[in-house]
Amino acid sequence: MSKKVNLGRQGFEPRAYKNAIDISFTQLIPPPLPQEDIITVDEFFGLYDSLFYEIPATGDINSHQYLINRSTEYIGFTEEKEQDIQILLDEITSLREELLTTQKELFDTQVSSSLELQNLGATQIGTQITPTNNNVG
């Protein structure tokens, strides 16, 4: 009862197996988007402009508020920067008020000085014109 079994090895040459066996990891890579689904930045803004009034103003997603929040986060604009801007605007307002007060004081001083000079001139002219007649008789 002995039977003879031939064991043979079948294989590929080192260069030939690449043609016969797919060794890439295509299962792990998502398939590329079809070309017609990809839009350019110009096309995006064209669609955005055409849909502008149809987009809800507020909401967690798909709204103008969402776009603002996401873009603000992306460019790094924070509430701290907004607060810094408000502090600077308040300082500008304060400085403008101070400048206005100083300009008013300067104007009042100039008007006062001008009136004093006019009064002084009128007094001198008045004394020169006024005859002093001590010989009343």
How far apart CA 108 and CA 102 sit, in angstroms, is: 10
Q: What pLDDT is stored for residue 106 in this prediction? A: 94
Q: What pLDDT is stored for residue 21 in this prediction? A: 73
Q: What pLDDT is stored for residue 17 in this prediction? A: 67
> Do residues 54 and 48 make contact, with C-beta atoms less than 8 angstroms apart?
no
What letter represents residue 12's amino acid?
F
Tally helices (H) and strands (E) across the chain.
4, 0
Burial (CB count within 10 angstroms: exposed 0-12, middle 13-18, buried 19+), residue 96? exposed
Measured between alpha carbons, how far is residue 64 from residues 58, 82, 92 in Å?
Answer: 6, 19, 31
Q: What pLDDT is stored for residue 114 in this prediction? A: 85
Q: What pLDDT is stored for residue 7 in this prediction? A: 76
Q: What pLDDT is stored for residue 25 in this prediction? A: 67
Largest CA distance in the chain: 182
Q: What pLDDT is stored for residue 12 in this prediction? A: 66
State pTM to two decimals. Answer: 0.34
Per-residue pLDDT of the chain (137 residues; tens, 9 = 90+): 678 887 777 776 767 766 777 777 667 777 776 667 778 899 989 999 999 999 999 988 899 999 988 988 888 877 777 788 899 999 999 999 999 999 999 999 998 888 887 777 666 555 555 555 555 55
